[in-house]
Structure 1
Amino acid sequence: MVPPAALCVHLCIGQAYAFSVFNLPMTRLLGVSQSTPADWKLTDLGWIFSIAMVFLGLSAALFGRWVEEGGPRKAMFTAGVCWASAFLISALGVYLHNLWIIYFGYGVVGGCALGIGYISPVSTLMKWFPDRPGMATGMAIMGFGGGALIASPLSVWLMSLFATPSDVGVLNTFIVLGCVYFVFMMVGSAIVRVPAPGWQPAGYTPPKVASKLMTRNDVYVYQAVKTPQFWLIWIVLFANTTAGIGVLGQASAMSQEMFPGQITAVAAAGLVGLMSLFNMGGRFSWASLSDYIGRKNTYFVYMTLGFALYVTVPYAGAHGNIVLFVICFLIIVSMYGGGFSTVPAYLRDMFGTRYVGAIHGILLTAWSAAGIVGPVLINYIREYNVTHGVPKAQAYNTTMYIMAGLLVIGFIANLCVTAVDKRHHMAADNEADAPRTPAPAEPTGAVPSRA
């Protein structure tokens, strides 16, 4: 019942990827049929998602230790309350036509729900599946990638249901979504369970640590941040996320401008839906594969294959090869999702299981940074090229090469990852004092008290 509990939370907060369906209707709250000068601009509404992504990373970093020590049930309950409140506060903002209330509601409160809810089941699932930690986190995190597949058509249907000649239907849709998500997230918090200390699946024998990168020791959360390994993995996640999030957010416009007259708005919308499926599937499949080939090797695949795909996109556009273009985008977005689901297991290999949720929370600041840098690179470089006479069909070429360069940086950072020095390990003889007492180095010839 633990994977369904995780999905109850992640499928709900995954709605964040579908928030763009509200953007155009919210530019017509007063005019209804068309925007008026008093209505909000699309550029102002775009900040709602950006604020939510920033607070996702900040809240995950700030509350990561509390989530780890308080347990998944408290965290899921808190995330459910915050996520429902985000929609209800945003509904008030719509009613009063005050955009700052929505910034606070969906952006700040909703962003905190995203951060706390995102990391809440991670370490719990890995404790239930010690033999397949990548698969375990993939099961949960794929829900975040697939949440938009449910939220997008549901939101559009609800807005059409509540729409009247004087109302676009956003207000009532926010209220209904807040109530529905609250119920499902409460179910998830009620059925989640933590295994007993030392619990193992029947017939499972912990393997000897064959990989130099894997450890059976734990590293305290704030000690982990002091290691070079943490920041190298931060760079790896930032590079992979920045490269993917810019493409994911602009796939519709990019495909139509690179293939004018060949890809229609309807076809572009279909491409976005297909990319959502690959985003979700990649989170499970790539993370599961990492259980067999290792996390470091999996990220090598992301960086190497991603580099080849990004430099191929301009070629596909120049030769009008839509099939090649679509294949490149689908694989890219699958690795974007896979990067998120593989990294918790990567952290578990490096820093142990005890504080992996808290460490993961701090690492998600890379997502916040990428959520700003990725769209900025795509949008501003395109605008610069267009204003300087570059045809729209070629305006994204420079960005694709920059994204490929980012993956080279990520490849180098991943190459530099080595095992964490044992001086960072927690003291094994006194678990209560372990967070404040790193284990000293073993003297030459001494027998370790416990591996």
Structure 2
Amino acid sequence: MLSALDHKHTVAPEGYSRWLIPPAALAVHLCIGQAYATSVYKNSFIAHFDSSQTSIGIIFSIAIVMLGLSAAVCGTWVERNGPRKAMFVSACFWAAGFLVSALGIGTGQLWLVYLGYGVLGGIGLGIGYISPVSTLIKWFPDRPGLATGLAIMGFGGGALIASPASRQLLSYYDSGYNPNVSTSVADGHALVLLFLTLGIGYFLIMMFGVANIRVPAPGWRPAGWDPSAVAAKPMVTTASVSAANAIRSRSFWLLWIVLFCNVTAGIGILEQASPMIQDFFRSNGTSAVAVAAAGGFVGVLSLFNMAGRFAWSSTSDVIGRKPIYMVYLGVGMILYLLLATIGDSAIPLFVLLAGVILSFYGGGFATVPAYLRDLFGTYQVGAIHGRLLTAWSAAGVAGPLIVNGFLDAQGKPGTLTSSAYQPALLTMVGVLAVGFIANLLIRPVPPALHEPAATGAAVPEEAAA
């Protein structure tokens, strides 16, 4: 049965519609996107384990670190073995992470949650994240930004499903939990059942993607597409660059800095999203009803995150990758400054500012595979993408540490106000400024790092190692 996962069994037959591939990719990304909904039960974890915000935030950080490391280490393996086997392995690790974490919650052992959701789940995140991306680029060489946006918007939208579902499940498993109040905490029994439910449910959904993913046959091209058309675009190469040579180029490391800065700035809001809006409006006279109504803030941010991944990455097909990153980072600096200074004046303004920031965060993720394709070609783009995601690992540590470090110094959860967030938000302005400068310095890869024409053409993209 496992032979069905082999690469040779995933090659699409003649006439296969490429529009059947995005739903398969979405099945995986919507599941692993649950990582963005961890703030829903963050306060419950703090109460259950009697821990600080920083020690609970480490769970998310470990998962993101393992995402980047597993993507970097397994990138060539994914290219060599194809997306079906990679997506199956991802599903196994992702589900196992929830099950081990449930054991840790039930026994009161936080280190088991670090191992489960953090390490095992993080490996599932990394392999699952990159497995459909390079496949989509190969199916959509004419619209790489749109293609990667279709899949990666699922990762951003995962919390849109996971957040309300987790709240309702917790209220079902614990009658004392109020899903409409972010400060409400669920007991340990409810948390165990939640993680068991999510682990089993996500595994079954991801199997849909495993069963339906396909790769294009060698030499396949979209009808009417002329590959020579890309030669006329600046910052777009028709050459091939190996993963080994890519990391020797200055452009790779500048793009690493760009992604790190964009992710660090966005991830702090996501990791703290659920209690953040409550804290911002606790002391300025906003009615408790209005604040409770804003309890769906995580879901709203997920909408912006998801929409940004599709809309901004599709826009990059028109205006280019470098200009779109100037928007993400430059306008992002302005929005963070406004959020820190006037964000607490009205709930709609706060949600709008945070939402647009998160749309840039999501757009940066969805655009970067196409940026890599432009700079390094399609030869080993999946493996290069995996190596670049180590920037996400670093940002997964930096972002939560910056925010939680400031918040722990300001007071305990449930007692904070908007002023407690100002130092962290202003720090993010400086982080984005560094990324903006790095993006300006990116240039085409020198020809000396290109593969010989015969090598790039002779080695199938799916088998590049």
- Regarding TM over 0.5, the answer is yes
TM-score (norm 2): 0.84
Give the secondary structure class of the aligned counterpart of 2:269: helix
Of 188, 200, 210, 2:221 maps to 200
Aligned to 1:449: none
Q: Confirm or deny that 1:306 pairs with 2:332.
A: yes
Aligned to 1:191: 212
For 2:51, the aligned partner's letter is: K
Aligned to 1:409: 434
For 2:400, the aligned partner's letter is: P
1:86, 1:109 within 8 Å by CA — same for their partners in 2? yes
For 1:56, the aligned partner's letter is: L
Superposition map of 1:32-111 within 5 A? 39-43=49-53, 44-111=55-122
How far the C-alpha of 1:317 sits from its partner, in A, is 4.0
Give the secondary structure class of the aligned counterpart of 1:200: coil
Give the secondary structure class of the aligned counterpart of 1:157: helix
Structure 2 vs 1, CA of residues 163 and 263 (structure 1 numbering), >3 Å: closer, same or farther? Answer: closer
Aligned to 2:403: 378
Q: Confirm or deny that 1:168 pairs with 2:189.
A: yes
How far the C-alpha of 1:316 sits from its partner, in A, is 1.6
How far the C-alpha of 1:384 sits from its partner, in A, is 4.8
Q: Deviations over 1:372-403 (max 9, x none)?
A: 2122222333555679xxx9443333333322
For 1:312, the aligned partner's letter is: L
Q: Confirm or deny that 1:363 pairs with 2:388.
A: yes
Higher relative contact order (CA 8 A, sep 6+): 2
How far the C-alpha of 1:432 sits from its partner, in A, is 8.9
Q: Confirm or deny that 1:156 pairs with 2:167.
A: yes
1:256, 1:263 within 8 Å by CA — same for their partners in 2? no
Of 302, 309, 315, 1:276 maps to 302
C-alpha root-mean-square deviation of aligned residues, in Å?
A: 2.5
For 2:222, the aligned partner's letter is: P
Q: Deviations over 1:227-259 (max 9, x none)?
A: 000000011111111111112233444434443
For 1:10, the aligned partner's letter is: H
Q: Confirm or deny that 1:19 pairs with 2:38.
A: yes
Structure 2 gap segments, 5+ residues each = 1-19, 177-186, 461-465
Aligned to 1:266: 292
Aligned residues: 422
1:23, 1:42 within 8 Å by CA — same for their partners in 2? no
Deviates more, 1:12-21 or 1:377-386: 377-386
Structure 1 gap segments, 5+ residues each = 29-34, 436-451
Moved over 6 A (4+): 164-167, 432-435
2:410, 2:420 within 8 Å by CA — same for their partners in 1? yes
Superposition map of 1:234-273 within 5 A? 234-259=256-281, 260=283, 261-262=285-286, 264=288, 265-273=291-299
Structure 2 vs 1, CA of residues 430 and 130 (structure 1 numbering), >3 Å: closer, same or farther? Answer: closer
Aligned-partner Cα distance in 2 for 1:208–1:101: 49
Of 253, 270, 277, 1:231 maps to 253
TM-score (norm 1): 0.87
Of 177, 181, 203, 1:182 maps to 203
How far the C-alpha of 1:329 sits from its partner, in A, is 1.3
Q: Deviations over 1:205-233 (max 9, x none)?
A: 22141223111111111110110000000
Structure 2 vs 1, CA of residues 110 and 383 (structure 1 numbering), >3 Å: closer, same or farther? Answer: closer
Structure 2 vs 1, CA of residues 399 and 19 (structure 1 numbering), >3 Å: closer, same or farther? Answer: closer
Sequence identity, in percent?
A: 54
Deviates more, 1:169-178 or 1:57-66: 169-178
For 1:295, the aligned partner's letter is: R
How far the C-alpha of 1:202 sits from its partner, in A, is 1.4
Q: Deviations over 1:334-381 (max 9, x none)?
A: 101101000010001001112111111111111111122122222333
Choose 1 or 2 for highest CA Rg.
1
Aligned-partner Cα distance in 2 for 1:177–1:188: 17
Aligned to 1:325: 350
Aligned to 2:243: 221
How far the C-alpha of 1:183 sits from its partner, in A, is 1.5
Q: Confirm or deny that 1:10 pairs with 2:29.
A: yes
Give the secondary structure class of the aligned counterpart of 1:231: helix
Aligned-partner Cα distance in 2 for 1:399–1:159: 31
Deviates more, 1:243-252 or 1:7-16: 243-252
How far the C-alpha of 1:5 sits from its partner, in A, is 0.6
How far the C-alpha of 1:313 sits from its partner, in A, is 2.1
Give the secondary structure class of the aligned counterpart of 1:262: coil
